[in-house]
Structure 1
Amino acid sequence: MRVILCDPHLVFAEALAAMLRKRGCDAEVTTSPASALRAAAAGADVCVMDISFPGEDGVEGTRRILAAAPDVKIFVLTARTDPDAVRAAIDAGATGIASKQRGVRELIEAIERVADGETYCDPTLSEEPSENGGRYGERFLADFLTSRERQVLEYLVEGANTRRIARSMGITFATARTHVQAVLTKLGVHSRLEAAAFAVRNGIVPPRRERGA
């Protein structure tokens, strides 16, 4: 796995790179979005990107990297936890985001998950309340859902079982079950009921009565 680490704090980036190399990764350190863009364009699996740089915008850098190298996964690693910054990173195309306060082992495991095509959202980013009574870290987890998975989430709010979901969506039972599990995993919940409560609490899917069901 080839990893580009783009961070204005060189000591931090080099320490993380050293740990990645011990795991057999090819890790390259850069200190600006512009240099990360050049490195990623030459070939990389993951770019670990901060979003705060002196005189540069890591979010815009993320967009440029994905435009030049769409197969590269962007993992945002930042000290910022304000909702606007987190939301901007997700909107720019990041498929993983974590706080720099996480342990190195946790960060490396999260980076590897993103490299394998999974999404990752640091649960510590979901502690600050949002305006609608949910939590901004919770709410942006839903941004990782595909359109199909959002549709499944709507059925879960209605209380539909897997068989009904499959029939309503015109898919096989096995496919419906896979979608349900993907929803639970991405939202970080353990049951259909938790998923439904999550969706309603964060305004992702309105309660059944509000949809005229």
Structure 2
Amino acid sequence: MGRIRVLVADGHRVFAEAVAAALAAEPDIDVAAADSTRAAEQALRRAAADGRAVHVLLVDADLGATPPAARTPAARTPGGAGPRARTPAADGLALAARSRTDHPGLRVVVLAAADDPRRAVRALQAGAGAWLPRDCPRDRLTAVVRGVLRDETHLPPALLTGVVRELVATRTDRAENRRLLDTLTPRERQVLRCMVDGLGRQAAAERLHLSPHTVRTHVQNVLGKLGVHSALAAVALARRAGMSPAETAAAGG
């Protein structure tokens, strides 16, 4: 591959610079830093346009939640480079998902202040190849950067059991929700897909060439078969089963 190009996306400049310096000590790694999701996305686009696409994105799991000044001290940087701040939101995971979609060859490593199996699963589902503690040593960080380029997945051993449990629970929940969707008639599934797509009764009626009254009847049948009491709950169940808004275009055809 030659030189490995890494982008560190973190809202706390001191931490980002410390991580960049730790990685830059490796003779075959070039590192840049971005302090926001917007800056990171712009850097990724510029690099791709210049023919120097970033290979690995290191992203703060909490990136963009609140300004760094409003954060409270927490973990230390790799190699003990000093205190770091964190926040409870997960904006970095959204950046990971968008970046993987926009740059399919990109590998993502998520750095987190605390082990959280549920968020780690979300990171993996977003396309991340690794979840690491913020205070991991430099040699571990560089080993993971090289590992994700070989399509390896890296998780802290202490987190593995919780992640497997979350994945099993998610799979079981999705299977049960799909079983419920299988009880719907083809027309009821079309109506549900319209609901997932955010269409009201009139718009769904126009898409499916039905009367609003007929759509209302189908909606009531859908709620009853799914065992929920609102359209919002039906949509949430459908999304958990894997039905996405993109599917609805075919439903109205």
Fold shared per TM-score above 0.5: yes
Over aligned residue pairs, what C-alpha RMSD do you find?
Answer: 2.1
Aligned partner letter, 1:98: L
Structure 1 position 138, deviation (Å): 4.3
> 1:31 corresponds to which residue?
35
Deviation at 1:12?
Answer: 1.8
Q: 1:103 to 1:92 in 2, by over 3 A?
A: same
Which runs of 5 or more structure 2 residues have no equivalent in the other structure?
48-52, 67-89, 169-253
User: Are 2:102 and 1:99 equivalent residues in the alignment?
Assistant: no
Kept in 1, the 8 Å contact 2:5–2:56? The answer is yes
Matched, 1:112 2:115: no
1:123–1:137 CA contact under 8 A, matched in 2: no
Partner Cα separation in structure 2 for residue 100 and residue 17 of structure 1:
13
1:162-192, Cα deviation, whole Å (9 max, x unpaired): xxxxxxxxxxxxxxxxxxxxxxxxxxxxxxx
On the 8 A contact 1:121/1:141 being kept in 2, the answer is: no
Is the contact between residue 40 and residue 72 of structure 1 (CA under 8 Å) also seen in structure 2?
A: no
Residue 117 of structure 1 deviates from its aligned partner by 2.7
State whether structure 2 residue 64 is matched by structure 1 residue 46: no
In 2, the alpha carbon distance for the partners of 1:83 and 1:14 equals: 28
Based on CA coordinates, which of the two structures has the bigger radius of gyration? 2
TM-score, scaled relative to structure 2 = 0.49
- Between the two proteins, the alignment pairs up a number of residues equal to 134
TM-score by length of structure 1 reads 0.57
Alignment of 1:70 onto 2:74: no
Query: Contact 2:117/2:166 (CA < 8 Å) preserved in 1?
Result: no
Deviations 1:28-48 (A, max 9, x none): 011112211222232100001
Is 2:10–2:60's contact at 8 Å kept on the other side of the alignment?
A: yes
SS of corresponding position for 1:76: strand
Structure 2: how far apart are the matches of 1:113 and 1:140?
24
Whether 2:11 is the aligned partner of 1:8: answer yes
> What displacement does 1:139 show?
4.3
The SS at the match of 1:47 is: strand
Shift of 1:22: 1.4
Identity of aligned residues (%): 30
Contact conserved, 1:50 with 1:78, CA < 8 A, in 2?
yes
Deviations 1:137-158 (A, max 9, x none): 344689xxxxxxxxxxxxxxxx
1:17 matched residue in structure 2: 20
1:1-213 to 2 correspondences below 5 Å: 1-24=4-27, 25-41=29-45, 42=47, 43-53=53-63, 54-55=65-66, 57-126=91-160, 135-139=161-165
In the alignment, is the contact (CA less than 8 A) between 1:7 and 1:32 conserved in 2?
yes
| In structure 1, C-alpha distance between the alignment counterparts of 2:158 and 2:145, rounded to whole Å | 16
CA contact (8 A) 2:23 2:138 kept: no
Q: Mark the CA change 1:106 to 1:140 in structure 2 (over 3 Å): closer, same or farther.
A: farther
What is the rounded CA distance, in whole Å, between the counterparts of 2:167 and 2:32 in structure 1?
29
Partner of 1:197: none
